[in-house]
Amino acid sequence: MIGEFDSSFEFATNILEAGAYFREPTSNPEQLPIHLATAHNVNDLDDLQKRYDEKGFCYNRYRNPNRSALNELMTYVENGADSTTFNSGMAAICATIVANTKAGDHVVSGDTLYGESLEVFTKITGKYGVDYTFVDICDLDAVKAAMRPNTVMVYGETVANPVIAVPDIKALSEIAHANNALLIIDNTFMTGALFRPLDFGADIVVSSLTKFANGHSDSTAGAVTSKDPALVKKSFDMQQLMGNQASPFDSWLTCRGLRTLDLRVKKQSDNACALAKMFAESPYVEAVYHPSLESNPYHEIATKQFGKYYGPMLSVVLPDDREKMNKFMRSMKLCHYAMTLGGYRTSMSYPPMSSHSDLTREERYAMGITDGLLRFSCGIEDTEDLVADMKRALEEAYGA
Amino acid sequence: MAHIETELLYTRNYRADAVNLGKPEAFPYFPATAFSANTLSEIKEAYRQGYTYIRTNNPDRDVLASMVTALEAPGLDKDTLIFASGMASISTTVGSILNPGDHVICNKFIYGETFDVWGKMYAKFGVEYDFVDMSDVANVAAAIKPNTKMIYSEVCANPTMNVIDIPAMAELAHKNGALLMMDNTFTTAVSIKPLTLGADIVISSMTKFMSGHSDIILGCMTASHEIIEQVRPMRMLFGTPADPFPCFQMIRALETVTLRVEKQMSNAAKLAKFFESDKHIVKVNHPSLDSWAGRETAKKLWSDDEKMSGMMSIILCTEDEAKIDAFMAKLHFVHYATTLGGMRTTLNHPVTSSHSHMPDENRRAIGITPGMFRVSVGIENIDDLIADFKQAFEALD
């Protein structure tokens, strides 16, 4: 019986019972508490049935208050009807792909996805008999040509890595739906604050919340959101078997991070636009990939989909000179190399040695990933400080 | 090698050069999703032997893995991976090892969601499976096929506690080129180390006895380096590496695991004896009892009745729900919980929860009746514990 504390037992017993439950009402705290408990208790079988009936909390891996709060928040952020949240972005992606395919099915996917998303198709579902075709999903004719009668899924990213290519989501959804396939879009690089793929016809949106959504580089989580609760349920059911649900503490941290998403990611996008302009004007930079630039091939579709926020990610191509690139990296005061992205500080990564290190040089060059490519994830620093710092670093490394 | 109690307090394997730590008395919590670098050569070095991205590696996860290896595989050359849950350790390991066309023999007495890993997850991708009563090795031998790649069982099955002859099962598996994978959740390495008895892979839901505090969800998998390196890259793709915070909590929890689990196991053996002697109980499933069907196999696995498992199941003398409710309400501190393995003694009712979707007839066939309770024994004073049940049983009269 879960009642008042009764001190009539031995010390070894009492020490487990004293303070085991909150005695006073704890409703409506200004910030959500962290519910670490793996289980919520009941008094008898009627109480247990009541708990099931009112959809109360039972076992943590199944449902947890912090995870439910994050689900509600992500459902709003991505404008869906329901969400389920995972231990990581990869967990969300993997569970959703596995849940919606079976041996004999075929998938059409973007060819420049995050490396490990591609590997879900080649190493997991591929191994178990799900066929796949990788295409440039910005090329709608190529996508149409890749569709087969057994194609069940078209998969892509809102902004393709690392050349910041922008596919036409509405057109992709029409191609997918004409073939009774689902369109699944990874919205990690934009977030629902800048662009909501579900409003443009995507069936499921997946996100790594680890990046811009949380923004503080201190939690790992992923989300699946859809306007169709049945699709979310499919990912949720697979989550139970894969056991890759978001932990309560990381759910709590991510909720906390998301409160400032609107401020952060818009500022990050503005900083990316300002940096893109500076890089485009620099004599030392060979190419700049950011759709805010009018010369960028994706400028028109990006403006149509994103409005004035072109996103916080950009890439540049510098001269193929390791020594000068090292000097440039060391000269920057406001940007550092990080093995992640989306944090509040500007960071960079070098795809040839990180995300695309498994590819041969030829394969990389075919994807536009040259030895001079640097990718930036813009932070929320003062815009003038950031632009001036990078301009100075370029001059120090490549000038004179 | 030091005794395990000592080993657990000093095993702290991580990439020490990669984290500027000083000498803190407790291992710090590393929430950082990434480590930074200044130049391309530093980045290369980080990939070679440092920390990079949280899903790839994390100091808390590494320290915890080394503690579990010390627990599960003393003196053996094994390694451990830590997962977001026990289910993650099962489904990721299975998915990394099995191919379409492979066949699995799984104990028919097993946790419900592990059933679903075969039936709902891998079946649609062409992995075959058979559920077999593994209490007799001959049943398993008869089910072996040329494509059998894995034999899977829990050390003590949920909730009936069925045990299997691990050394004999390992021999059978290896003779046929298959792996023996064991779930050690109900027992933990404090009780039994399946790898030392011939099993190839041991997994646990650390959420339960290993944690003991009912505030962490985690899983672990210990096996040869070859298997670990096969599963490690797939864990990245399944997105199932554990978060650092629960790892940090679990490091803390494992520091008391021997004290807790030994007390839970000895309490359970004493409580089982009391239940057996009480008129309100018609059946007790615990490996320490001579009256229990699996007792002979249990004797092969354990030498001490008080070091077997903190879990058991009992069947009450009545199936009358009003009487059962009255019994539950009368308990002072023993209570119903939707988990197990915690420091407080908790009950679970399989017919209402884990086995609610199974027809009554099928349930009874595997020994699960409406009068059955699963008991997860805590670390309370044993006299208090027995007295609490004793006074509550009066409600069944």
3-class SS shares of chain A: helix, strand, coil, % to 5: 40, 15, 45
List chain A residues with CB under 8 Å of B242: 87
List chain A residues with CB under 8 Å of B337: 39, 41
Give the list of residues 6+ apart from residue B219 with CB closer than 8 angstroms, or none: A243, B82, B83, B84, B85, B86, B87, B88, B89, B90, B203, B204, B205, B206, B207, B242
**Is A306 inside any structural domain?**
yes
Cα distance from B228 to chain A (closest Cα, Å)?
A: 16
- Please calculate the CA angle B128-B160-B118 and round it to the nearest 5 degrees: 15
Task: Report the side by side order of strands in the sheet with A222-226.
Answer: A82-86, A222-226, A204-208, A182-186, A151-157, A106-110, A131-135
A184 in the same domain as A317? no
A296 in the same domain as A155? no
Q: What CATH number corresponds to the domain at position B114?
A: 3.40.640.10
CA distance B86 to B83: 7
- Reading phi first (left if > 0) and then psi (alpha if -120 to 50, else beta), residue B261 is in alpha
- Please say if the pLDDT value at position B1 is more than 60: no
**Is A54 inside any structural domain?**
no
A311 in the same domain as A244? no
| Average pLDDT for B48-56 | 87
Q: Which domain holds residue A349?
A: 261-398
Residue (of A291, A305, A82, A75) closest to A194 by Cα position: A305
A374 in the same domain as A323? yes
B277 in the same domain as B234? no
Domain boundary among A223, A258, A293: A258
Indicate yes or no: CB of A88 within 8 angstroms of CB of B239: yes
Give residue B108's Cα distance to chain centre.
17
With bands split at pLDDT 50, 70 and 90, how would you rate the model's confidence at B112? Answer: confident
Q: Render pLDDT for B146-156 as a digit per residue (tens, 0 to 9).
A: 999 999 999 99
Q: What CATH number corresponds to the domain at position A313?
A: 3.90.1150.10
Give residue A360's Cα distance to chain centre.
26
B225 in the same domain as B100? yes
B371 in the same domain as B234? no
A271 in the same domain as A245? no
Residue A86 backbone dihedrals phi, psi, to 5 degrees: -125, 170
A174 in the same domain as A100? yes
**Is A28 inside any structural domain?**
no
pLDDT for B55: 87
List chain A residues with CB under 8 Å of B328: 1, 43-45
Q: Where are the beta strands (DSSP E) in A216-367?
A: 222-226, 287-289, 313-317, 336-338, 347-349
Indicate yes or no: CB of B239 within 8 angstroms of CB of A11: no
Q: What CATH number corresponds to the domain at position B287?
A: 3.90.1150.10
Domain boundary among A210, A232, A258: A258
**Is A159 inside any structural domain?**
yes
Contact B211, B253 (CB under 8 A): yes
A141 in the same domain as A276? no
Amino acid at A323: E
Q: Is A102 on the interface with B (CB under 8 A)?
A: yes
- Please say if the pLDDT value at position B378 is more than 90: yes
With bands split at pLDDT 50, 70 and 90, how would you rate the model's confidence at B104? Answer: very high
Contact A67, A225 (CB under 8 A): no
How many CB atoms sit inside 10 A of residue B243's CB?
30
B273 in the same domain as B316? yes
Q: Give me the interface pTM, i.e. the ipTM.
A: 0.81
Task: Report the side by side order of strands in the sheet with B179-183.
Answer: B78-83, B219-224, B201-205, B179-183, B148-154, B103-107, B128-132
Contact B98, B122 (CB under 8 A): yes
Contact B185, B97 (CB under 8 A): no
Active site annotation includes A102: no
| Average pLDDT for B52-67 | 93
B244 in the same domain as B266? no
Domain boundary among A215, A243, A258: A258
List chain B residues with CB under 8 Å of A119: 237
Active site annotation includes A114: yes
How many CB atoms sit inside 10 A of residue B397's CB?
11
User: What does B174-234 look like in DSSP terms, one character per residue?
Assistant: HHTT-EEEEE-TTT-TTT--GGGGT-SEEEEETTTTTT-SS----EEEEEEHHHHHHHHHH
Contact A189, A161 (CB under 8 A): yes
Q: Which pair of structure tokens corresponds to residue B101?
A: 């066309």
Domain boundary among B229, B254, B279: B254
Q: Is A71 on the interface with B (CB under 8 A)?
A: no
Give the list of residues 6+ apart from residue B269 with CB closer than 8 angstroms, or none: B286, B288, B305, B306, B308
A386 in the same domain as A292? yes
Indicate yes or no: CB of A222 within 8 angstroms of CB of B239: yes
Contact A182, A155 (CB under 8 A): no
Residue (of B15, B88, B70) closest to B255 by Cα position: B70
pLDDT for B356: 85
Q: Is B321 on the interface with A (CB under 8 A)?
A: yes
**Is A121 inside any structural domain?**
yes
Contact B311, B377 (CB under 8 A): yes
B195 in the same domain as B64? yes
B386 in the same domain as B307? yes
Report A:323-362 residues touching B (Cβ under 8 A).
325-326, 329-330, 336-340, 343, 347, 350, 353-354, 357
B214 in the same domain as B124? yes
Q: Is A87 on the interface with B (CB under 8 A)?
A: yes
B375 in the same domain as B278? yes
Q: Report the percentage of chain B scoring pLDDT > 70.
A: 100
Q: Render pLDDT for B122-138 as a digit per residue (tens, 0 to 9).
A: 999 999 999 999 999 99
Contact B396, B327 (CB under 8 A): yes
A374 in the same domain as A299? yes
Classified as helix, coil or strand, A182 is strand
* Cα–Cα distance list, A49 to A207, B332, B346, B356, B370 (Å): 35, 21, 17, 11, 14
List chain A residues with CB under 8 Å of B85: 61, 243-245
Domain count, chain A: 2
B275 in the same domain as B209? no
Half-sphere exposure of B378 (CA within 13 A, CB side): 27
**Is A57 inside any structural domain?**
no
* Candidates A43, A45, A235, partner chain B, best to mutate (most B CBs within 10 A): A45
How many CB atoms sit inside 10 A of residue A265's CB?
26
- Please calculate the CA angle B230-A247-B4 and round it to the nearest 5 degrees: 60
**Is A1 inside any structural domain?**
no
Burial of A370 (0-12, 13-18, 19+ CB in 10 A): middle
pLDDT for B218: 97
Q: What CATH number corresponds to the domain at position A239?
A: 3.40.640.10
Chain A residue with CA closest to B208: the answer is: A38
Q: Render pLDDT for B167-219 as a digit per residue (tens, 0 to 9).
A: 999 999 999 999 999 999 999 999 999 999 999 999 999 999 999 999 999 99
- Please say if the pLDDT value at position B20 is more than 80: no
Active site annotation includes A391: no
Give the list of residues 6+ apart from residue B202 with CB closer than 8 angstroms, or none: B72, B181, B182, B183, B184, B193, B194, B195, B221, B222, B223
Q: Which pair of structure tokens corresponds to residue A218?
A: 């201190």
Q: Which of A51, A61, A63, A391 is catalytic?
A: A61
A203 in the same domain as A96? yes
**Is A349 inside any structural domain?**
yes
Residue (of A301, A274, A253, A267) closest to A193 by Cα position: A267
User: What does A26-83 look like in DSSP terms, one character per residue?
Assistant: ----SSPPP---SB--BSSHHHHHHHHHTT---BTTT--HHHHHHHHHHHHHTT-SEE
* Candidates B207, B240, B319, B348, partner chain A, best to mutate (most A CBs within 10 A): B240
Beta-ladder partners of A156: A185
Domain boundary among B254, B281, B305: B254
B100 in the same domain as B86? yes
Contact A65, A72 (CB under 8 A): no
DSSP classification of residue B164 = -
Domain boundary among B196, B228, B254: B254
Q: Which of A82, A105, A186, A371 is catalytic?
A: A186
Helix pair angle (A89-99, B225-238), 10° resolution: 90
Show pLDDT as tens, one digit a residue, over chain A (400 residues): 667 788 889 988 988 888 888 888 887 888 889 999 988 888 888 888 898 899 888 888 889 999 999 999 999 999 999 999 999 999 999 999 999 999 999 999 999 888 889 999 999 999 999 999 999 999 999 999 999 999 999 999 999 878 899 999 999 999 999 999 999 999 999 999 999 999 999 999 999 999 999 999 899 999 999 999 999 999 999 999 999 999 999 999 999 999 999 999 999 999 999 999 999 999 999 999 999 999 999 999 999 999 999 999 999 999 989 999 999 999 999 998 888 899 999 999 998 888 777 788 998 888 788 899 999 999 999 999 999 999 999 999 999 6
Bond before B159 cis per omega within 30 degrees: yes
Burial of B312 (0-12, 13-18, 19+ CB in 10 A): buried
Q: Which residue has the tokens 């060979």?
A: A286
Burial of B101 (0-12, 13-18, 19+ CB in 10 A): exposed
Domain count, chain B: 2
Q: Between the CA atoms of A168, A121, A350 and B47, what dihedral angle is there, to the nearest 10 degrees? A: 160
List chain B residues with CB under 8 Å of A13: 333, 380-381, 384-385
CA distance A73 to A62: 18
Contact A111, A86 (CB under 8 A): no
A285 in the same domain as A154? no
- Please say if the pLDDT value at position B27 is more than 90: no
Both ends of chain B: CA-CA distance in Å? 54
Both ends of chain A: CA-CA distance in Å? 80
B205 in the same domain as B107? yes
Half-sphere exposure of A109 (CA within 13 A, CB side): 24
Q: Which pair of structure tokens corresponds to residue A306?
A: 């994103």
Contact B385, A22 (CB under 8 A): no
Q: Is A222 on the interface with B (CB under 8 A)?
A: yes
CA distance B135 to B173: 15
Q: Which domain holds residue B283?
A: 258-396
